[in-house]
Amino acid sequence: MTIKVAVQGALGQMGREVMRAVTAAPDLELAGACDARAEKSAKFSPAENAPPVPLNDNLARLLADTRPDVLVDFSLAAAVPQTVEIAARAGVSLVIGTTGLSAQTLARVNDLTREYHIGAVIAPNFALGAVVMMELSRIAARYFDWAEIIELHHEYKADAPSGTAIATARTMAASRDKPFRSLDSDAGHPSRGQKFDGVTVHSVRMPGLVANQEVILGAPGQTLSIKHDTTSRECFMPGVLLAIREIAGRPGEFIFGLEKLLDF
């Protein structure tokens, strides 16, 4: 059975990568694309020698015209609430890679999956290596009382800290039976970074980067570093395709984190 896929935020770097990956997958069909920068009704070819697909700036119209099974969203956090409302009312399941979403938005997605019997996957990171890095950090956090995260991204990333860094910090803290330790002198020093559940996170934004994260854990006489480097956006595609295939057959389910779909 072929799964029909539409992409929101299609003209962004991640959107274009998703369209190429979907086009190349034998069990998926790229039904259409949406982007606020698109003309009201146009055609767009996602890859060389690939047939053009409908491209629209109006998501409701695109979904009505193309009737996809799954909508993949890599857009802006501010646009996601409206996107999920439109997709849910159209009966379209969701794979969301946009980060910086509020707790209220996540709760609303959860409610909509039940109300409209659609599936939804939201993941801070779709790179399988990054998900493994987060899991290893969760395990290591039980044995080290000090932890900090350094995350580096390209200069156009809209949010800071990254969703991956926040999710890593919170997962690490949840695995412990006591808080991480930190310096009392951190108070009043903004250069020390922002704390999430006791883990200090430092963000770097500059050209030449895609996505990198290092978790540093410390104890007397030793440190442990767990690092993941992204050199190309194609590393996110196996995770995105996995999420599409899984959520198409899980109506009514809300899944946060790609690790829920992996055999950890």
Q: Which residues are annotated as a binding site?
A: 9-14, 37, 97-99, 123-126, 154, 163-164
Closest CA to 167 of 208, 122, 206, 217: 122
Give the span between the Cα atoms of 118 and 249, in whole angstroms.
9
Which of 4, 43, 117, 153 is an active site residue?
153
Contact 8, 15 (CB under 8 A): yes
Catalytic residue flag (residue 202): no
Q: Is 99 helix (H, G, I), strand (E, B) or coil?
A: coil
48: Cβ contacts below 8 Å, ≥ 6 apart:
none
Binding-site members for (S)-2,3,4,5-tetrahydrodipicolinate are 154, 163-164
Find, among 96, 86, 103, 90, the residue nearest to 120 by Cα: 96
Which residue ranges make up the annotated binding site for NAD(+)?
9-14, 97-99, 123-126
What's the one-letter identity of residue 110?
N
**What strand order describes the sheet that includes 211-219?**
194-196, 199-205, 146-153, 211-219, 222-230
Backbone angles phi, psi at 201, to 5 degrees: -120, 130
Which helix (H) or strand (E) segment holds residue 42: the answer is strand 42-44
- In the annotated binding site for NADP(+), the residues are 37
- Say which of 4, 40, 117, 157 is annotated catalytic: 157
- Token pair, residue 100, equals 């910086």
153 as an active site residue: the answer is: yes
Element (H, E) at 69: none
- For the annotated catalytic residues, the residue numbers are 153, 157
